[in-house]
Amino acid sequence: MRLLTATALALMALVVANRVAAQDDEARAVVEMAVKAHGGLEKLDSAKAVSVKGKGVVSVMNMQIEFTQENNLQAPDRFRAEMQMQVNNMNFPVVVVFNGKKAWIKAADMLMELDEKGVEGMKDSMHAENISSLKFVKDKKYKMALIGEAKVKDAPAVGVRVSHDGKKDVSLYFDKKSNMLVKMDSRALDAQSGQEVAEERFFSEYKDVDGPKMPGRMVVHRDGQPYLDFHITEARIVERFDDSMFAKPE
């Protein structure tokens, strides 16, 4: 009896494993079509370091604040953001730097190093950013599963959940007609509340940037509420940033 039970469990595990593998293959095929639509893996791989400038509106403490921003991002885990916020007709500069291990925020003349929770939040954000680049498609460490169809901005889309051991799951949604990435769902640390929130990023207005296609607009909702509306005015790919780009702000 025990032998029969063990055999049945083994067969069940095999069926489940085969089903998971099939789901992964189907989801991976969806992402591969998206990679092609975004310019192909070779062009996407070339964008290891990206500089982006733009402007937009962010919700801070129940205020809608206009800002301009320059982001310099180097995969897989470094970025620097310099923001100029307009608060009560005054310019308020903010610099955020993450070097993969440590993170700092400088607001006006006040400099703060983030604690362990803040650093983990930065790592989660960079993980989601790397997923949105679609370059993970050939890496077997990332597991994928279809999560069904959905409507994104009233257009049909197909969803894929991306998983990696030790990291938070990220869900991607691709427009069924164009195969472009139009939405990403993830968990994010909200700096204002210090709590984890459900974050939705909506991508649109794609344009060619030195080869690969990149969104010209990103709208972010947190826990279902509008948080950020960012319009990219300039984007370029660079070979690599100098290490000083990700040093502690002075």
How far are the Cα atoms of 21, 43, 238 from residue 36, in angstroms, in the given order?
22, 10, 22
Q: What angle do CA 239, 111, 249 make, to 5 degrees?
A: 25
Q: Is the pTM above the cut of 0.85?
A: yes
Cα 133 to Cα 192: distance, rounded to the nearest angstrom: 27
Q: Is there a contact between 126 and 153 (Cβ–Cβ < 8 Å)?
A: no
Q: For residue range 142-201, what is the model confidence (pLDDT) as tens digits?
A: 999 999 899 999 999 999 999 999 999 999 999 999 999 999 999 999 988 889 999 999
CA dist., res. 184 & res. 181, Å (int): 8
Closest to 248 in 3D by CA, of 95, 84, 49:
95
Domains and CATH numbers, the chain: 2-246 (2.50.20.10)
